[in-house]
Structure 1
Amino acid sequence: MIKRTIYIGNPSYLKLKQKQLVVQEPESKEIVGTVPIEDIALLLLDHYQITISNQLLIKLQGNNVAVVSCDEHHLPFGMMLPIYGHSEYSERIKHQLSASEPLKKQLWKQTVEQKIANQEALLNLNNKLSEPLAEYKLTVKSGDTTNREGMAAQHYWKHLFDNFSRERFGSAPNNLLNFGYAVLRSIVARALVSSGMLPVLGLFHKNKYNAYCLADDIMEPYRPFVDKLVFNYVNNSYRDNFELTKQTKAHILTIATQDVFIDGVERPLFVAVTTTTASLYKCFTGELRQIKYPELD
């Protein structure tokens, strides 16, 4: 079953009743919607006047639901996940902790290669210059010591959008990309916890202030799928101003159900991420030598 992403953007009281998330209008007490807890993967809270019961939070955590709160810019700011999400949690953490540096460098190499391959595919889909990326992809070294990822990104952003500079706080569509990446990060972090791993222990990212280093690693090959969604949205719209409206957010939130090709089959991105994190754990145990990542086509 495909899990759902639930977005709450109005003043609301959220509570639990009969294993359902109940959304209630605070003043009139009117019930405006209910969703079975077991159907939810991600709950996005985007209003300062949202109240959520602790009983509901506990039930959400018990079902590995990522609860994400947004800031004043309406961008995902904080994330709540269960402490553990797998019955073999301690055993799996041991394997993650014992992973050698050479192994992590090889896994990062695979990650960068697939990210560049997906960037190349997106440029090709839109008849953009992609030739340099093919060379970068073939020359990635263990640990990406020659920074092929950065070189590829420089070319990629120069050619994907017209007159565009990729900056975290830059002009649109940077805001749309930031929102999509934040949602993607939450999906990946949830999958890592569900697979019994700590999102904080990265392969490459090691910022001591970052609690989601591994999520930031594993999401890299998935970023071009967000780029594709945003690119199509921008280029199929007649507007010049792209604000993060509720309509825009609703469109970007469909990233979770976008079909991707992984491990020989087509799956929703949300399911594909779980395939990736499961394969990562098997790489830590020695059962696999290659992480399973999606291919953009």
Structure 2
Amino acid sequence: MLKQTLYIGNPSYLKLKNNQLVVIYPELNEEKGRASIEDIALLVLDHNRITISSPLLEKLMEHTVAVVVCNKEHLPNGLMLPLDGHSEMTEHWRHQLTASVPLQKQLWKQTVIAKIRNQKKLLDKYQLPSSVMDNYSNEVQSGDIGNMEGKAANHYWKYLFDDFRRERYGEYPNNLLNFGYAILRSIVARALVSSGLLPAIGIFHSNKYNSYCLADDIMEPYRPLVDALVVEWYQSYPTFKELSKEAKFHLLQLPKLDTIIEGKKRPLLVAITTTTASLYKCFTGERRLISYPEL
């Protein structure tokens, strides 16, 4: 069974009872719902009056649940993951930390190509100019020294939305994109920990202030799946520009989205685990290619 994403957006008290997460609304002093811990992949906390018990947090970490905390702008700004997510963690870390620079550059090349190809497919879906994206993906070199990723992004954003500039704190629909990417980043970080890898040590990103460099690397080919959800919302509700609960619920479909990976249809949550497992095998030399999804 596919694991769940739970979103809590009201004043709540969250506690553990019989290996289940129990949600209580304190103002009414009544239970509003419960979920088995082992069925949860992601828990999103989006209210400044949420209280969570220590035994519940301990059990969530035991089952590798990613706990995401949102700020006053309702954007994810914190992520809790277990320190020990794999039985052979130190062995996996050793392979990751000793990966050669040429290998890392080749893995980044694969990542950029996969991202550009998925961006092209999204442009194709809406019959937008896309032929130049083939040129960009074919010209990606080891380490993407020619910055084909950036050139492709300039074309992609120019046509995907009307009169749009992609910025972290820019105008709509940047707010929806930011929320979706933050959720995606959390899912990828969780999968990396489950695969016994260090999210902080990237193959391309290397900011010393970033604890999720590898997550930022591996999520790149998955970003167009977030973009696809945002385009759907953008076209269906062109005047609804706020990051409303309805918009969030739409974006929280992300873990269940169907992808094609290794020739099979898989939900995104499962596909990302396939990707991180294949990445580890690239570090050990068991394989040469990372498994990435097709849009």
TM-score, normalised relative to structure 1: 0.98
* SS state at 2:32 partner: strand
CA distance in 1, matches of 2:110, 2:27: 53
Deviation at 1:267, TM superposition (A): 0.4
CA distance in 1, matches of 2:198, 2:167: 29
Deviation at 1:26, TM superposition (A): 1.2
CA distance in 1, matches of 2:84, 2:187: 15
Deviation at 1:28, TM superposition (A): 2.5
Aligned equivalent of 1:57: 57
Aligned equivalent of 1:44: 44
Q: Deviations over 1:176-201 (max 9, x none)?
A: 00000000000000000000000000
Aligned equivalent of 1:129: 129
Aligned equivalent of 2:166: 166
CA distance in 1, matches of 2:159, 2:88: 45
CA distance in 2, matches of 1:21, 1:15: 6
CA distance in 2, matches of 1:59, 1:3: 16
Aligned equivalent of 1:236: 236
Q: Deviations over 1:105-135 (max 9, x none)?
A: 0000000000000001100110000111100
Which residue type is aligned with residue 170 of structure 1? G
* SS state at 1:146 partner: coil
Aligned equivalent of 1:118: 118
Which residue type is aligned with residue 294 of structure 1? P
Aligned equivalent of 2:3: 3
CA distance in 1, matches of 2:199, 2:230: 26
CA distance in 1, matches of 2:87, 2:206: 27
Aligned equivalent of 2:291: 292
TM-score, normalised relative to structure 2: 0.99
Which residue type is aligned with residue 89 of structure 1? M
Q: Deviations over 1:220-249 (max 9, x none)?
A: 000000001110111122x41321111110
For 1:8-19, what aligned pairs fall within 5 Å after superposition? Answer: 8-19=8-19
Q: Deviations over 1:117-157 (max 9, x none)?
A: 00011001100001111000000000000100000000000
CA distance in 1, matches of 2:267, 2:228: 15
Which residue type is aligned with residue 284 of structure 2? T
Which residue type is aligned with residue 24 of structure 2? Q
CA distance in 2, matches of 1:96, 1:26: 46
Aligned equivalent of 1:95: 95
* SS state at 2:199 partner: coil
* SS state at 1:35 partner: strand
Which residue type is aligned with residue 59 of structure 1? K
Deviation at 1:30, TM superposition (A): 0.2
- Alpha carbon RMSD of aligned pairs, Å? 0.6
Deviation at 1:27, TM superposition (A): 2.6
Which residue type is aligned with residue 264 of structure 2? V
1:83 paired to 2:83: yes
Which residue type is aligned with residue 291 of structure 1? I
Q: Percent identity?
A: 62
CA distance in 2, matches of 1:90, 1:167: 38
CA distance in 1, matches of 2:153, 2:265: 26
Query: How many correspondences in the alignment?
Result: 295
Aligned equivalent of 1:260: 259
For 1:17-28, what aligned pairs fall within 5 Å after superposition? Answer: 17-28=17-28
CA distance in 1, matches of 2:250, 2:128: 24
Ranges in structure 2 where 5+ consecutive residues have no aligned partner: none
CA distance in 1, matches of 2:234, 2:288: 38
Deviating beyond 3 angstroms after TM superposition, the runs of 4 or more aligned structure 1 residues are: none
1:183 paired to 2:183: yes
CA distance in 2, matches of 1:176, 1:27: 30
Which residue type is aligned with residue 262 of structure 2? D
